[in-house]
Structure 1
Amino acid sequence: MRLTHLKLSGFKSFVDPTTLHIHGQRVGVVGPNGCGKSNVMESVRWVLGESSAKEMRADAMDAVIFNGSGNRKPISRASVELVFDNSLGGASGAWSQYAEISVKRVIERDKGSTYYINNTVVRRRDVADLFLGTGLGGRAYAIIGQNTINRIVEARPEEMRIFLEEAAGVSKYKERRKETEQRLRDTRENLLRVEDIVRELDSQILRLQSQAVVAAQYNQMQEALNITKAQIWLLKKRDASAQWEKTQRMVEKLVNELEAQMAGLRSSESTLETLKQQHTASSEAVNIAQSAYYEANAEVSNLENQVKNTTDARERLQLQLQQLLAQLEKNTHQHHLVEEARALAQADLIKADADFFDTDSAVKSASEAVPLKSHEYQAVLSAFNASQSAWLNAEQRLRLEQANMTHLSRAVLETREQLTRLQQSYDSLQIPADSLVLEKQSQLSALELEMTELEQKNASAVKQEQALHAEIKANRDEAHQYQRALHVLEAEISSLTKLQKSMRQVDNASALGVWLSSVGLSDKLDENLRLWQAVRIKTGWETAFEACLGAKLNAISCSYSNINASLLNRAPLALTLAVTSDADTQVKTPHLYTEMFSLIEYVEPNYVAVLQDWLTGVYIHHSNDMDIVQAARMLNHGECLVNQYGDTYTRHSVTYFGEQSLLHGVLERQSRLTNLEAELPEAQERLALKNNQVTLLETKLQQLRTMQHAQQQQLKLVTQQAHQLNLNLQQLKQQQTNAIQRQKMLQSDCEQAEEKLNNLQSECAQKQALLT
């Protein structure tokens, strides 16, 4: 799997949804201090299951949620999502079937974390199992954060072992082993509990058996009780039937009494109806009396008002009288002043006395005339109050009408201005044309059709990609099989070649090489052709051929001149030289058995004469032939029979073959080596062809992915255009609807304003007429 996207939302400093696209094998995150680089690494560790707040550089796990700033409010939710490309099926378990795998972790305040894989709620353990053995995880070594290098360097041996096991992929199996052991432990505990339960049940069986006997007795007694109860209920039923009959007779008697009472009730109702009519008549009389009473009360109220008015007038007269008394007191004070000044004007005293007597008589006459003047003053004052009240009322009505006229004039002006504004708004209102809406709809339909075609192409491309994936996987599997077969073939050829070369190596090889050079042969042992290299035997008879020839199979080809040279200088080691020449012309006599020479399928022409010489008188014995002992007795001197196991039979002896030298199996190995070398080019060609097919399929897959990416980009672009066009169309329709509604509202407002203006003008004309 390969990480392609990292999505963060509300995680630490990433308050807004942010998507990081991971392209290529190496991606660097650079920026100034405090920009959130470490938050990116911590988000990867957090989404993979990190449960330690300390590793997140926080006091609590809720602290990874954005806690607000000077310009932003805090939020209550944070999420991080990793998107992996699993197109090659590298994921373990059931998730390997998905081409893309998303791992997501969401945390909310006071609610804890929730894990998702492909939008499916999973456990934290499921996320850990998905990346087990890959080096990824909450505490894995693949994520190098702050202080991680120091922690690895300073780790203790047991901590270092955890890192090494994770790197070697052992932790996955240790985790599975731990889980299996836990399950076995739970199973053992369950078995112990089951055994305890079995023992408990065994101890309860006897008690339950005794309880079963008691229960059987209880059932019998219960049946007897039910029968007794049934009998009792039968007797009660009989008594109840008799009681019911008695009650029925009583009910009939009570019904008769009830009918008599109903007759009395009807007569009472008729009497009640008569009394109601009388009550109605009495109520009418009472109403008449009440109306007369209310009229009398009204007259009394009027009289009381008159009395009150009289009292008020009396109080006013008393006030006037007090004023006159005050004036009298003032005059008396002046009199005292005059008396005090009489020493100064003794001459005026008599005159003053006369004036005093005159004044006193005038006062008395004025006091007698006060009631009459009071009555006249009261009448004049009443007339003045009435006229003043009428004048005030008229003036108030006039001012009210003038205010109404001012208000009506202002309302007329406002209504005219409102009507003008409404008409201007109505005239300036712009309604989008239907043709523009239809044009937008046709463009949207075209884009939707294009989107459908692109989605179909994308779906087809996905299917082709899946088919190519399957075909590539199948071809890769076949290529791996061919590769393994080729490696096995090459390894077998190499081992057989080494074994065959070892047949040429002998002890004291340098001395033998000097000797071969002295007799005219090559001093390099590997360059001298051996007999086992020049012959091919029928399958199944290699052992018989080796038993017959023995060390002669390692013979080196030479000529007669080489043998003549070797007479003076004997070979330092055991060695066989075979003179290669044309085949001898011999007359073959018919024989009862098949010659050993007939088993040779191929031989170098120069070795035919040598093999004829060595195999003369050697015959083969098949398993379906006659008894080999009888067959051996029929042989001549110097002849022998050899079976497939290499056992040699003569007329007077038998020699059983055994593995006595390094030459054992040399012919079989040489035959196998020849066949394998013949198969090697075909296997190489088959592997090369399959690798070419895989390369072509991968190239085709890459082209398909490129085309699919282009189609996806085009689909994304078309989708964005369609979305934008749909928004524009909806806005246009909403605009059109709002404009039509606004037009109707303006038209209605204009009509209402015109009607209001007409009413105000008519009312204003009426008021003006009243004022004039």
Structure 2
Amino acid sequence: MHGFKSFSDSTQIDFMPGITGIVGPNGSGKSNIIEAIHWVMGEQSAKGLRGDKMADVIFGGTKTRAPLNRAEVGIVFDNRDHYLKSDFDEIEIKRILYRNGDSKYLLNGKQVRLRDIQELFMDSGLGHESFSIISQGRVEYIFSAKPEDRRSIIEDVAGVYKYKQNKTQAGKKLTNVQDNLDRVTDILYELEQRLEPLAKQSAKAKDYQQQKAAYDELDYQRLQNELTLWQQQLSTILNQMQQAQNKADVQNDQLKQQQQQLETARQSLAEQRETQQQQQHLLLEISTSVENLAGELKLQAERAHNQAQLVETTQATLDERRKGYTNLMQQIKHAQSEVTQTQVELRALAEQTATLTREADHQQLKALEGNRETLRNEVVDALEQLTTAKNNQRFAQQEDQRADAQANRYRQRQSELAQQLTQAQSDLERAQHVHQSAQSELTQAQTDLTQQQQVGQELEKAYQQQRQAWYDQLQKQQQVQARVQSLQRLNEQYDGYYQGVKNLMKQHTKFPGIKGVVAELIQVDAKYQLAIETALGAALQQVVVDEPATAKQAIQYLSQNHLGRVTFLPLATIKARHLQSDLLASAQATPGYLGTAAELVDLAPEFQMLKQHLLATTVIAENLEQATPMAARLKQRVRIVTLDGQVINAGGSMTGGASRNQQQGLLTQKNELADLSAQLGTLNQEVAALEQQVQAKQAALQPLTENFKNQQDTVMHLSEVEQQKQADVQVAKQTVTQLEQAQTALTYDMQVAGVTTGATATQAQVDLKTAQANYDDATQRLDDMQLEIETLRTSLAESDERLLDKQMHQKTVEATYTHMQANVARLNEQASANEQAQQQLTQQLKDLQSNQQDVTARLEAEYASKQAKQQTVEQQVQALVQQIGSAQVELEQLERQMTTVQSQQQSQMQVINQLTNQKSRLQTQIEQAEVQLSEMYDAEYEPQAQVDEADLADLKKRLLLLKRGLDDIGTVNLDAIEEYAQVQERYDFLKKQKQDLLDAHADLTETMSEMDEEVKTRFKTTFDAVNEHFERIFVKMFGGGQAKLYLNQPDDLLRTGIDIKAQPPGKKFQQMSLLSGGEKALTAISLLFAILAVRPVPFVVLDETEAALDEANVDRFANYLQDANEQTQFIVITHRQGTMAACDVLYGVTMQEPGVSTMVSVNLNQSVNERGEA
């Protein structure tokens, strides 16, 4: 190794026979050695090497070392037994990767492909994906994988990879064959639909050609005769035109003189009319001013009338205010009267208040208080009797004390029972509390278990959904990839091209001047691809070359080998085409215009002339509805193609429709390949991302399953505790019940003893009650007297309250008096304001009357001045009208004279125009006839000696008959003759090709069935052998127990999954997933060793596979390695001492320099021997 990850220096590791161990602290670079072996044997995933991109395997540098530019790893195999299929006794594989992304593989020093390396290891049990390199993750994969995924383990051992790969390749070939067969069938169907119509069209075209040749011969003679006759007529017309023009010139001179006289008269009349208009305009302005002044005078009169009304209104307002002032004065007098009356009322209230205070009488109150003292003496006597009765009761109580001794014994026992009962109740409460706590813990644990179960189910569901999404996206990726490969293959084989194009392009390297087919060179947006395909038609398959010489060489090659026909486009000779500017402008101004076809495609700069040559004269329209008026506007002179492929040809013919089995166009196929290639890149990224998500969810599900099992154990333990606490509560309840029953019995005994002593005190109690009743009666009468006294005092209080009401009313009246005084003041203020308003209105009336008189005088003076000026201007306008009338009569006489001359001139010009039209018509006929001769017959006009009109008429009749015959034939496709021959040739070829494809399809199907049978046989044989060794090795690794492999679909050996059941010593026979982590790991290792027993390999790399085992199982693992190392060389990365002890050679990996790994080796067998000799 050199430059691979942390091994910056050149490092060599010699793996000796036996067991080689690689040890070292975490992060020292041990796993980099295994990854180097993976990498050099063909690993392509940077993720599998713990990197983001492949360049991450190159040493990236440290603080003291610069990054390296390449990584190099080589591995040497001793192949003297020719285990690998190679003639070499020693095989060296080397892989080199440069930081710029370049890489290469070397096999014994010779550069080879990655596929060569893969084929070398195919079905050898070696390779970067085989079980010769086993990591801890590979062990976890065995017990965590789905049964269907686990079958790959047996398939790898059975060596069916090459069969599956061959079947996959055969399947791809079968798909390709089927695709080609479908395509050929579709093409044949299309050709069959074309052959019969083409045969008819070909025969029709040949008939048309014969009749057309006869028609052209007669039509040529007709054109020559007509030209001769028209030339003679044209000469006569030119002479007549010259004579008519001379007469017209004389008339024109006369007309000019009359026009000058008329112009002078018109100018004079115009000047007079302009003067008249100016005077009329002035008169209008003066009249308007007069009318405006009259209006203002009228308005001023109305204002005077309004002001008179305002004076009246103001005067009325003043009268109202005076009346209001009088009313205010009356209100003030009334308010002052109310104030005086209120003062009288206040004085009367003061006198009533004094009277109420003097009438209170307290004599009765004094008499009642005297009676109360008599009753108090009676109460004292009753109290003395009550005291005597109490003394007698005390004597009776002393008699009862003799029974207290026995009662004390009862009470002592009762106290003891009460203490015991309290303690028992306390114990019961404590037991209930502990029971409730246990129930709460159990309920919480059960809730947590349910939640974990739900979370686990949701995570499992999410995992399955994510996995299904991954499978769906992977399937979509494979479908897109298959379609991309199919399209690429079609492009490489030029399928869909004419036979000549296909044959030529397969050998295009022989002709350096070939630039490509038009369909390959052109780039077009998907929106326009159907329109461009239709516009180009067969031109899509025309071959672009640099110059005519290349085209000649290619044509010679095609002709000599009978490989078909091809149309060439030499860039050096083709010319650009353009639409006329007026046609282009008309098209652009028409709705639905999208552009010329040349504007909507892209070609490389060197092919711009090609674009203009093929597409510049074709217009692309939105649809046929918009294309139809566009064609009419362009006078049917431009070819128009719509987006859906309909065509309006120059000249007015239309082509359109669609085929049910329409073949995919070349541009469509090209764009589909580009789109699918981009989609495939996106799908590759999505599949990789989904695969990472599936692995992340699978990793998250594993600890949750273990937590769920632990939670189940906790719930079971808490359930047992809760049942024990419930039993403790029942015992405490029984103790409380027993103590309560004993306490009830003791109370009954105490009641029986109390009956005897109770009779003695009964009489004393009766006497006490009598005395108490007398005392209560006297006390009651004293209370009644006290109540009467209080009633009288209450009456006195009510008198005081009425006095208070009078005082409150007095205050209300005083407040009313104050309000009236304020009202009088307010009314006085209103009277003052009313007086000021009267004075203001009087002044306003005086101002209005003064202003009205001034304005009226000014308006009357201005109105008189304007009327005088208006009369003067009206007289001037009348004089101008008379002058204009005279000038108008003179002008009309001149115009009548000029009209006569113009009429004569127009008559002469009509003659000239008629002759000119005849001349133009003849010239047009002559030009058209000459054009027809040139374009149709490539000939020029030849004057005929003599033309007989009768012979010419007979000639036209014969032409008419021939024309009708051609019209009866109808539309003719002249290309049908050659097209029919080409289609027939292609049909025969494809029919033979279809039979070849059917034969290939049958052969591939039979081959795939044979491969399936071989895979089934090898898989079943290998499965049985691995199962047998697995049962034996499991017992050896566990020291007992049993294990077995099962097929979950034994009837479907191509798809069946593999289940694993195991029974470690002391446990039941169950699924592997239910075992503990260490048991699952050791079971998986046992299966790996069984695989190696069935398919021994020269060496095995184990990367911390025993990390999850305990010490005892590590020892069994190490012992098995020692037993198996006679046939297999083991390379072990480990941290476990038991495994290290079993190694023959140990390599230590250290980082004495940060970021740089170095190796230290120790031969343990040699060290042991040396210690033994010492």
TM-score bin (small chain): 0.3 to 0.5
Relative to its length, the structure with more helix (as a share) is 2
Which structure carries more relative contact order (alpha carbon 8 Å, separation 6+)? Answer: 2
- The structure with the largest alpha-carbon Rg is 1
TM-score relative to the length of structure 1: 0.32
